[in-house]
Amino acid sequence: MDRYFTKEHHELRELVARFAREEIAPVAREHDESGDFPWRTVGQMAELGLFGVPVPAELGGLGRDYLSYILVIEELAKVDASHAITVSAHTTLGMSPILSFGTGEQKSRFVPPLARGEILGGFGLTEAGAGSDASGTRTRAQRVEGGYRLSGAKVFITNAGVGEIFIVTAVTDPASGTHGITSFIVCKPTVDVAKAESQGFGHRAELPFSEGVRVGEKEDKMGWRASDTRELILDDVFVPAEQRLGNEGQGFANFMRTLDAGRIGIAALSLGLAEGALEAAGRHASTRQQFGRPVWEFQPVQFRLADLATEVEAGRHLTYHAAWLRDQGRPFSREAAMAKLYCSELAMRATLGAIQVMGAAGYTSEHPVERMMRDAKICEIGEGTNEIQRLVIARHLAAQLARS
């Protein structure tokens, strides 16, 4: 793996691994059970700069490459996927579209507070009738003097309640299909201003909050339970023209590019889950005694762990390679889809396998592997289901065939 990593990468990995072990591991189970957003440890992640890893230092970030960001997500997910997705949705979905498609003014206004983790961000694409088929977007943006009026509702939006800055898509020209979809930057206060103020981060009163942005109740989910997922409702919201992101009609193409990069993050999150589960199972198997010896000594247990370790190694190559391509400015859409597809399915195999190796102990909340299994499932669904990843990969294969 050293072909990908420098000393700085290793140091960052070690820093995040230690933080996750010492600060997140002791509270992960409690937040999974209560579903409460982990404000305290999220604040600590902000202090470490984890909300702005691949953002230039002059815009408030750590000024690192995408591989560094991938390592951060992987290390967080080894311990707790809810913390990892909070950073991931904020970074690749909420903030990176402003960095990639924003004007100079939009970048200097919105990116620094996000990159410093002073507030959280997210991305509103999915709607009740537009999941895999995002071209089915119904949210409308009507041009009015000085800007637009947005009406519609986005569902299953990560950080919707706790966050303050969101990129949302809306139809500006219904006659133009996907070329009639446009992106906007929309601000609303966090649902928990008192909590945010007591923690010293999470709310900035000077943001241009728009009237009419509301959120639904927090979703009661199977996994990622400490991550905040809600409906984001746009009720005749005025958004000034200077908060349109990119040109009219560019929203669809831009979010496709945003999702490509986001998928490498989901691959890293899945990889972290697989590695965390494998480590827990290995440790348990070497101490648990049956038939007078550690269960580790039974060949079926060894073979299961050896197979999973091999798959984890393959997943690391796919994920790091996709991130490396992105850092080199080369095309990475195919590789990102492959990494997300492979690693999310691996996360399911690894967490289920870990439970099997640990027997009844693995089936209880005393150990993290049952939580990891619940957290792994959504990785096969979010940021494009795995069926959609297969379609993306098949499209690349077809194009390759046509060229040959």
Ligand X SMILES: Cc1cc2nc3c(=O)[nH]c(=O)nc-3n(C[C@H](O)[C@H](O)[C@H](O)COP(=O)(O)OP(=O)(O)OC[C@H]3O[C@@H](n4cnc5c(N)ncnc54)[C@H](O)[C@@H]3O)c2cc1C
Query: In 229-259, which positions are buried (b, 16+ CB within 10 angstroms) versus exposed (e)?
Result: bbbbbbeebebeeebbbbebbbbbebbeebb
Q: Which of 239, 272, 383, 389 binds ligand X (CB under 6 A)?
A: 383
Would you state the structure tokens that stand for residue 288, as one six-digit string?
Answer: 């648990």
For residues 26 and 166, what is the distance between their CA atoms, to the nearest angstrom? 31
Q: Does residue 178 bind ligand X (CB under 6 A)?
A: no
Find the catalytic residue in 75, 164, 380, 383: 383
Which one, 42 or 378, has the nearer CB to ligand X? 378
- Supply φ then ψ for residue 188, to 5 degrees: -150, 150
Contacts of ligand X in 93-112 (CB under 6 A): 93
CB atoms inside a 10 Å sphere around CB 220: 8
Least gap, CB of 324 to ligand X (angstroms): 25
Q: Which of 44, 100, 302, 385 binds ligand X (CB under 6 A)?
A: 385
Contact mark string toward ligand X, 220..249, x via CB under 6 A: -x--x----x--------------------
Query: In 375-395, which positions are buried (b, 16+ CB within 10 angstroms) versus exposed (e)?
Result: bbbbbbbbbbebebbeebbee
Size of the site for ligand X (CB under 6 A): 24
Q: Which of 6, 34, 108, 132 binds ligand X (CB under 6 A)?
A: 132
Q: Which stretch binds ligand X (CB under 6 A): 97-105, 108-116, 362-370, 380-388?
A: 380-388
For residues 275 and 306, what is the distance between their CA atoms, to the nearest angstrom? 12
Contact partners, residue 228, CB within 8 Å, separation at least 6: 37, 86, 158, 159, 160, 161, 162, 163, 218
Q: Which stretch binds ligand X (CB under 6 A): 32-40, 121-129, 138-146, 319-327?
A: 121-129
Q: Does residue 139 bind ligand X (CB under 6 A)?
A: no
Measured between its terminal Cα atoms, the distance across the chain in Å is 32
Instruction: Characterise 384 by phi-psi region: left (phi > 0), alpha (psi -120 to 50), beta (else).
Output: left
Q: Does residue 52 bind ligand X (CB under 6 A)?
A: no
Single-letter amino acid, residue 33:
E
Is residue 383 flagged as an active site residue?
Answer: yes
Q: Which stretch binds ligand X (CB under 6 A): 34-42, 44-52, 62-70, 123-131?
A: 123-131
Q: Which stretch binds ligand X (CB under 6 A): 206-214, 268-276, 324-332, 378-386?
A: 378-386
* Partners of 157 in beta bridges: 230
Catalytic machinery residues: 383
Q: Can you give the binding site for ligand X, defined by CB under 6 A?
A: 89, 93, 122-126, 131-132, 156-158, 221, 224, 229, 378, 381-385, 387-388, 391
